[in-house]
Chain A
Amino acid sequence: MVTIDLGKTSVREGNEKIRQCGKNGEDVEVVNPDARHHIGVGLVHPITVKVKGSAGYFCAGLSDAANFEVESNVGWGVGDNMYSGSVVVGGNAGAIPGVAIRGAEIVIRGNMGSRAGQVMKAGTLCCEGNANFMAGYMMYGGRIIILGDSGEKVGEDMSAGEIFVAGKVEDLGSDAELTDIDSAEIDEVMKFLDRYKIPFKGSFQKVVNAGKKLRYATSEQQMRSIPFFSFSGASDYWNPKIQEDLYIKSQIGRYRIRGYGGARPLPHFSDIAFKKDLSLAGGDADVVSKIKMRTEIGGINGAEPLKLSMPVMIAPMSYGALSASTKRAIGLASTLSDIAENTGEGGMSDAQRGAAKQLIFQMLGGRLGWNIHDMNRADGLEIYISQGAKPGLGGQLMAKKVTPELAKIRGIPAGIDLRSPSRHPDILGADDLVIKVEELREATGYRLPVSIKLGAGRVRDDIKIAVKDGFDFIELDGMQGSTGAGSAEVIDYVGIPTLPAIIEALNALEEIGRRDDIQIVLMGGIRDGVDAVKALCLGADAVALGTSTIIAGGCIACMQCHVGQCVTGIATQDPEHEKRYDPEVESQNIHRFLESVRWQIATIANELGYNDVTQFSRDDLVALTPEAAAMTGLPYDPQYGDADLDIKVRAAV
């Protein structure tokens, strides 16, 4: 037994020691814990940790196979995301005990706080006392045993799993119901109680999902999209798209859902131009070797940065929204072009990890697929707050796409219309977020950059908060970003365009004096090297490409991603459709596209007289529309929008 005195060593050092002991097979006793956060996070070896006192937030979090005994109380999120292993808390637990556990056993001898077992996937959470409100909130599986009273709204929006309540069921949550219990189940519960030496003689009531909200009641009629020019720009107020929307909504009584990016033009990079006449650009065959393009992202706080061969990375897109073979193709292409790929919401598969040399692992509110092992093999960690396409909404995956295989990696029941929570269980505000960032760092030994993914809204405020929370870099996503599925109205009307988003972000950094060190990766409708350079000129440190890489790999932009029957085999989980996509061929296509982007960035840099991509400047740009000028502060000069360009271009080539 090794003793670690947190009165004398820092939590960071203490955790490193505990991990070392885990490796060595030695048990640990933590003294003077004094309710410090993150005690014992990130353990992946069998070990017993005895905490002699109270622990703070996330005790035993992000671990697998460890057994914890906490003498007194714990703060929020005890056992956060634990795989196997156990935690026994002698006193009371704060809010969200057992949040997102995936197999662990958590026993609270006293009472537990609200939202116990939120988004848990498997394992058992047991409370000898009373639970506060919303126990089992949005749980996807596993078992909660409450020997006292249930608290209000027990089982609120649970998708699966079971909640046994011995005391009073005060109030059932939305889509929860009481059901019969068979004796075998009781036997299992009693066995569990025996194992933890919990004496109990009473009876139980069992709460399960009522199954009324797991699927949309009526399905939306599938339509191929109307061409955008017939409903945007100077089109009629009551245009064909509006009429179609009204027709569909009056059939289903619900908002419409679709995939892809926005369905209307917004002020965008096409509305700004380079001051310099670039109509002769491209004469230099060796241009790529002449421009310094290597970009490191995420190293400001000492983590190992992502090393990009150009200021470009792949935008987060999930396995789920996309087929496994599409994720593979993108991963391979990112490796061939030596940039970074991102898992998006759906967890990390071995195939994804194998394909991508550098891979960012994204964590969302539903904690789908989130776990310590994949964190350890990631090259960066990312906390998703929102995305440009649908900020405010969680991920959406229609039942057709929630196959058993996909459900397994995400830790959820198969065949539900998955609507991921839009708020993290443990991030209600900036102060929680900073603790969460620390937890991720503690669990992975401060090796990995931790980034934030932010859909553009009140960018000025959000950026300042993100900086305060200590992220290593920021991924900022404008509303031109795409999604696999979302409310059509949210896709088109929530958030601000990418162009003003970067401006607001940089202004915010300027105001807090952090313009020079905080890195921003801009995304949301960046389609090629030209858009990328404009973003870099405006001040982004790198850009991320999503939809354009999908198109390079064969997407035809039919905007039916949500249906799950993708004709090209990209946005589908149907093996018959996925067969249509050849990752080996498409990875080469995507790679060539990325190389073309590289060539475009280098050529424009060269033509502007630069030899390093960090030299791009907003002085290189003008605005072609009053809106673009107003949003960016660039000089307005429509003359640069060259109507005769076609002719000039032909003459040049």
Chain B
Amino acid sequence: MSAVYDINRILIPEVPPDYEDHTADTNYVPAPCQVACPIGTDAPSYIGYIWEGKFEEAFEAITATNPFSSICGRVCDAPCEPACRRTDSDGPLQIRNLKRFVMDKLGATYEPIPIKAIQSKTVAIVGSGPAGLTAAHELCDAGFEVHVYEMTDRLGGMMIWGIPAFRLPPGIIEEDIDRLLKRFPDLHIHLNSGLGKEITLDELKAKHDAVLLTIGSWWGKPMGIPGEEGNKNVVDGVSFLRHINAGERPTLPETVVVVGGGDVAMDACRAALRLPGCKNVKVIYRRGPDEIPARKIELEGAIEEGIEFIYFTQQVAVEEKNGKLILKCVKTVLGEKGEDERLQPKIAEGSEHEIQCGMVIAAVGQKAACDDLAKHNLMDVDRVQTEWDTMRTKDKKVFAAGDGAFGGSTIVMAMHHGQRAAYYVKSFLNDIDNPIPYRTPYRTRRVPVAQDIKWERFSPHHPEFFGIGEDPVSFPEIEATYDWDTARNEAARCYRCDAETGSPDYSVAHREDIFSMARTNPADHIKLKSMLQKRLRTRTNPFPESRAPNLDDIVFLPANLSRLVIDPYREACKVTTNLANKLELQHPFLVTGFDNESQEIFEAMSQGCVISKTPYLGCKDPGNETSWLQLSSSLSEQTKHTAGYVYHLDKGEEPIAITPATDRQIVGLAVSTENDLEQTISCSLENKHDILVLDSTGNLGGNWSELTTTPDFSILRDVIRILRKMKKEEAVELVYFGGVRSGTDAAKLIGLGANAVVMGVCAGLAMGGEINNEKIVFSSNYSDTDRVQGLVNIVKANLGEASMMARCTGKTNLYNVEPEDLSAITNDTSKATGIPLPGKCA
């Protein structure tokens, strides 16, 4: 398997056809944890789902590529965790524990939908360990009928015979296997069917279209030292565990020595400690604590349970003296790196010593053995001879995978072998001669990032560790599972290396490239080259032709050296204005759009307007204290007591003259691009209208019209141009409506020529409304006070923003922002506003 930051993460190889894979998605990069997982588990997604409390979705993400999820939740060696980027900070996400949390919730009760065989060809799989059953899962999923031949009376291979119950209770194994069998009714199980005994390879080849050998490394290797052979007090680790897992609870001598530092050694020493009679367990290992291959959590568990570790010690002979067993040992020192890139232990001269004990368990490696296969010349000493690139043996119909083919490894690696082998078996059965190389597919479920404000602070949470428990012989489980709060806090910690953040310049893909650049040896030209090629890629235009002109595509030009810099944090900026010399405004904002809302909402709006001194533009009277700019389509409705009267022109309607009802009443027309602008402006000027309301949505006064139309703010440009042509630029004041979302938008519109702006949806959302089906729905649990305060706050915030923008451009009066203070960054917006682009054509 590849290291997380190797070349395959920079230029991800092609995925075999028919596999679901999302690496082509430009907004997704498989996270380090996912890449480190041999079966590509979409950990970030299920972690995200856990935080959201979506356990079924999390279960789907976990089990999609992993038929042994419940087992993995307990005992996976979790290569994802050391790959987790948070490891370098305060410790990795406890991914395995999170998986266990979900499986504990749903693993036992989940009812899979059965998938039946649809292919005529059948496959024999020999051995029912993780490699074999995972291959069975894949092949059944592809519609083949699969027959699994298992020499023992139980399914699960080393998962059931090798791992003691205190780490993996038997019910957990059954949970996964039951799920697998329920899901695939055409997965046929043949127990007690040993190869070369009850069945032969020739029979399998005759009966089935392909054979996959996943026979495991069933037999322990001897230590190869004098006195070992024939001594009943010297046993190998796997046999020892097999007996224990068969239910035996032998009484052991007081002191037991385990030789070896791998996972079998860990299970063996911990199992021994729990058995009757045993008081001390010592583990001897020929390298040091930094080199010991056992998984950290197993090692720590063993140490915590009281097992003694003796490092730099190598066994040389076993003897019996006075009924006591003597393990003769020497001390070692580490020398040069060997072929396997590991530091080789050398014997320290004169360091011979003895360790007394009653039993030696040798956990120094395993081997595969099968006479029937040897007879067919398919064995290479103690493994089935297998080519990694095709998973084939010398027999073209026979494939092999797992520990029996490639040596002892982990459950999750064996599962990868199973998936890999299944791919090549499928290709063979489908008559594909040179299939493209297999690679683990990577999927994402695009789960949002957890919104927990403490995500940066939570430190890793390890579930409670019980150790050997009160009744060790019954092998009680060693650790607890998370409760929901803890699981959620742990899930919140995830960096979500797979996901985009809000930064488009540093997209997830670009970040990961930078990360890889930082982890490349300057002499590694092949990797540098592939990285350069990736970086040379260009992007899709973020401003496609379909993008309408947008206020977002206008920027402000700061004061810098060419103007006096005004300090936006503290220097004053005038924001008050006098609309048409008739209406004093504390700020440039009006509110509209609440005419059809409930009385409760309308009153809250009205009260918010009173407090924030915001006029209301609408058909409905907001009450005495609010400045009301009456909006109407019928002159007869013109009310005397209002601050203003705005006659709303229908589409194509000819402009009409309006007379103020009082000296102080502001009057004007509301106009959209559906009207003749020139004619309307002429009419307004002739009749000395105070204002012109520019409706960029074409439906002012309607129900949240900003949600149904994209505001066409070229109306502002056109009106200004017409006024300018008439040399009447300031003869009528412009009130703009449509798409005002922020103070920044307001400042831009003021810069473009508006005297005031109208907030609709913006006010609705601030008052706790939510966008639903092109409407604002006030269904949230806001109180009236919250709504009033929301409106008051948004006016305040938008005003702060608008004046901040003005000051950034060097203005101390918001209404002095002008087109020269703006720049457009897209061609379409430039056209719609008349504001030039920066750069060459500036």
The residues of B that contact A592 with a CB separation of less than 8 Å are 517-522
- Please tell me if A294 contacts chain B, counting CB pairs below 8 Å: no
The answer to whether A645 and B558 touch across the interface, beta carbons within 8 angstroms, is no
Interface string of B496-525 (1 = CB under 8 A from A): 010111111111001101110111111001
A457-B558, A490-B804, A495-B558 known; A253+B797 contact, CB < 8 A: yes
- Please tell me if A241 contacts chain B, counting CB pairs below 8 Å: yes
B546-573: which have CB < 8 Å to A? 546-547, 550, 552, 554-562, 564-570
- Please tell me if B230 contacts chain A, counting CB pairs below 8 Å: no
B363 vs chain A, min Cβ distance (A): 34
The answer to whether A630 and B538 touch across the interface, beta carbons within 8 angstroms, is no
- Please tell me if A245 contacts chain B, counting CB pairs below 8 Å: yes
The residues of B that contact A279 with a CB separation of less than 8 Å are 533, 536
The answer to whether A430 and B561 touch across the interface, beta carbons within 8 angstroms, is yes
The residues of B that contact A228 with a CB separation of less than 8 Å are 500-504, 507
The answer to whether A567 and B455 touch across the interface, beta carbons within 8 angstroms, is yes
- Please tell me if B796 contacts chain A, counting CB pairs below 8 Å: yes
B753-792: which have CB < 8 Å to A? 761-762, 765-768, 770-771, 789-792
> Which of A46-54, A143-151, A306-314, A546-554 touches B?
A546-554
Smallest CB gap from A497: residue in B:
B825
The answer to whether B517 and A262 touch across the interface, beta carbons within 8 angstroms, is no
> Which of B63-71, B169-177, B736-744 touches A?
B736-744
B664 vs chain A, min Cβ distance (A): 31
> Which of A72-80, A95-103, A264-272 touches B?
A264-272
Report which of B543, B560, B800 forms a contact with A391, defined as CB distance below 8 A: B560
The answer to whether B11 and A281 touch across the interface, beta carbons within 8 angstroms, is no
Number of A-B contacts defined by CB within 8 Å: 423
Report which of B515, B529, B550, B762 forms a contact with A282, defined as CB distance below 8 A: B529
The answer to whether B794 and A281 touch across the interface, beta carbons within 8 angstroms, is no
> Which of A15-23, A184-192, A338-346, A526-534 touches B?
A526-534
The answer to whether A252 and B567 touch across the interface, beta carbons within 8 angstroms, is no
The answer to whether A246 and B765 touch across the interface, beta carbons within 8 angstroms, is yes
Docked Cα-Cα span, A645 to B11, in Å, equals 11
The answer to whether B567 and A552 touch across the interface, beta carbons within 8 angstroms, is no
Report which of B499, B503, B538, B543 forms a contact with A273, defined as CB distance below 8 A: B538
- Please tell me if B109 contacts chain A, counting CB pairs below 8 Å: no
Main DSSP-derived SS at the B contact region: loop
Report which of B501, B805, B841 forms a contact with A558, defined as CB distance below 8 A: B501
Docked Cα-Cα span, A567 to B552, in Å, equals 31
The answer to whether A642 and B538 touch across the interface, beta carbons within 8 angstroms, is yes
Count residues of A near B (Cβ-Cβ below 8 Å): 148
The answer to whether A238 and B761 touch across the interface, beta carbons within 8 angstroms, is yes
A439-487: which have CB < 8 Å to B? 454-455, 457-462, 465-466, 479-480, 487
A250-B793, A455-B558 known; A489+B533 contact, CB < 8 A: no
The residues of B that contact A282 with a CB separation of less than 8 Å are 525, 528-530, 532-533
The answer to whether B568 and A393 touch across the interface, beta carbons within 8 angstroms, is yes
B16 vs chain A, min Cβ distance (A): 15
A222-B453, A461-B561 known; A489+B838 contact, CB < 8 A: no
A392-B558, A499-B839 known; A238+B11 contact, CB < 8 A: no
Docked Cα-Cα span, A249 to B556, in Å, equals 21
Docked Cα-Cα span, A652 to B455, in Å, equals 42
- Please tell me if B534 contacts chain A, counting CB pairs below 8 Å: yes
The answer to whether B706 and A238 touch across the interface, beta carbons within 8 angstroms, is yes
- Please tell me if A503 contacts chain B, counting CB pairs below 8 Å: yes
Docked Cα-Cα span, A223 to B455, in Å, equals 10
> Which of B84-92, B575-583, B671-679, B686-694 touches A?
B84-92
The answer to whether A270 and B539 touch across the interface, beta carbons within 8 angstroms, is yes
The answer to whether B537 and A422 touch across the interface, beta carbons within 8 angstroms, is no
The answer to whether B547 and A457 touch across the interface, beta carbons within 8 angstroms, is no
The residues of B that contact A232 with a CB separation of less than 8 Å are 504, 542, 552
The residues of B that contact A560 with a CB separation of less than 8 Å are 456
The answer to whether B801 and A593 touch across the interface, beta carbons within 8 angstroms, is no
A428-B564, A567-B86, A577-B456 known; A551+B502 contact, CB < 8 A: no
B142-170: which have CB < 8 Å to A? none
The answer to whether B569 and A253 touch across the interface, beta carbons within 8 angstroms, is no
The residues of A that contact B451 with a CB separation of less than 8 Å are 223-224
Smallest CB gap from A247: residue in B:
B765
Docked Cα-Cα span, A527 to B558, in Å, equals 24
- Please tell me if A493 contacts chain B, counting CB pairs below 8 Å: yes
Docked Cα-Cα span, A489 to B805, in Å, equals 8
The residues of B that contact A174 with a CB separation of less than 8 Å are 570
A229 vs chain B, min Cβ distance (A): 6
The residues of A that contact B515 with a CB separation of less than 8 Å are 551-552
The residues of B that contact A600 with a CB separation of less than 8 Å are 528, 531-532, 535
The answer to whether B11 and A649 touch across the interface, beta carbons within 8 angstroms, is yes
Smallest CB gap from A554: residue in B:
B88
Docked Cα-Cα span, A460 to B595, in Å, equals 49
Report which of A225, A243, A266, A553 forms a contact with B765, defined as CB distance below 8 A: A243
- Please tell me if B609 contacts chain A, counting CB pairs below 8 Å: no
- Please tell me if A157 contacts chain B, counting CB pairs below 8 Å: yes
- Please tell me if B544 contacts chain A, counting CB pairs below 8 Å: yes
B527 vs chain A, min Cβ distance (A): 9
The answer to whether B539 and A504 touch across the interface, beta carbons within 8 angstroms, is no
Docked Cα-Cα span, A265 to B502, in Å, equals 10
A250-B793, A487-B804 known; A559+B503 contact, CB < 8 A: yes
The residues of A that contact B504 with a CB separation of less than 8 Å are 228-229, 232, 262-265
- Please tell me if A419 contacts chain B, counting CB pairs below 8 Å: yes
Docked Cα-Cα span, A640 to B711, in Å, equals 34
The answer to whether B790 and A551 touch across the interface, beta carbons within 8 angstroms, is no
Smallest CB gap from B564: residue in A:
A428
B56 vs chain A, min Cβ distance (A): 24
Report which of A231, A233, A281, A627 forms a contact with B532, defined as CB distance below 8 A: A281
Which interface residue of B542, B568, B837 has the most chain A CB atoms within 10 A?
A: B542
A265-B542, A631-B838 known; A494+B808 contact, CB < 8 A: yes
The answer to whether B514 and A225 touch across the interface, beta carbons within 8 angstroms, is no
- Please tell me if B707 contacts chain A, counting CB pairs below 8 Å: yes
Docked Cα-Cα span, A404 to B303, in Å, equals 43
- Please tell me if A512 contacts chain B, counting CB pairs below 8 Å: no
The answer to whether B840 and A596 touch across the interface, beta carbons within 8 angstroms, is no
A234-B544, A557-B501 known; A527+B839 contact, CB < 8 A: no
The answer to whether B827 and A627 touch across the interface, beta carbons within 8 angstroms, is yes
- Please tell me if B99 contacts chain A, counting CB pairs below 8 Å: no
The answer to whether B560 and A254 touch across the interface, beta carbons within 8 angstroms, is no
- Please tell me if A599 contacts chain B, counting CB pairs below 8 Å: yes
The answer to whether B453 and A270 touch across the interface, beta carbons within 8 angstroms, is no
The answer to whether B538 and A250 touch across the interface, beta carbons within 8 angstroms, is no
The answer to whether B801 and A599 touch across the interface, beta carbons within 8 angstroms, is no
Chain A residues near B (Cβ < 8 Å): 138, 156-157, 174, 213, 221-229, 231-234, 237-238, 241-243, 245-247, 249-255, 260-268, 270-271, 273-274, 278-279, 281-283, 285, 385-386, 391-394, 419, 421-423, 428-430, 433, 454-455, 457-462, 465-466, 479-480, 487, 489-490, 493-497, 499-501, 503-504, 507, 525, 527-530, 547-548, 551-554, 556-560, 563, 565-569, 577, 580-582, 585, 589-590, 592-593, 595-597, 599-600, 603-604, 624-627, 630-633, 638, 640-642, 645-646, 649-650, 652-653
Would you give 5 A-B contacts (Cβ < 8 Å), ordered by A? Answer: A237-B706, A249-B793, A558-B495, A558-B501, A646-B537
Chain B residues near A (Cβ < 8 Å): 7, 11, 13-14, 24, 27, 85-86, 88-90, 449-451, 453, 455-457, 495, 497, 499-507, 510-511, 513-515, 517-522, 525-526, 528-544, 546-547, 550, 552, 554-562, 564-570, 706-707, 710-711, 739, 741-744, 748, 761-762, 765-768, 770-771, 789-794, 796-798, 800-801, 804-805, 807-810, 823, 825-827, 837-842
* A237-B711, A245-B742, A489-B801 given; 19 more Cβ-contact pairs under 8 Å: A249-B742, A250-B767, A250-B768, A262-B504, A273-B536, A283-B529, A391-B808, A392-B808, A421-B569, A423-B565, A454-B561, A457-B557, A551-B515, A557-B511, A567-B495, A592-B520, A630-B827, A631-B839, A652-B533
Report, nearest first, the 6 A-B pairs whose CB atoms are least far apart.
Answer: A500-B839, A392-B808, A282-B529, A631-B839, A225-B502, A391-B558
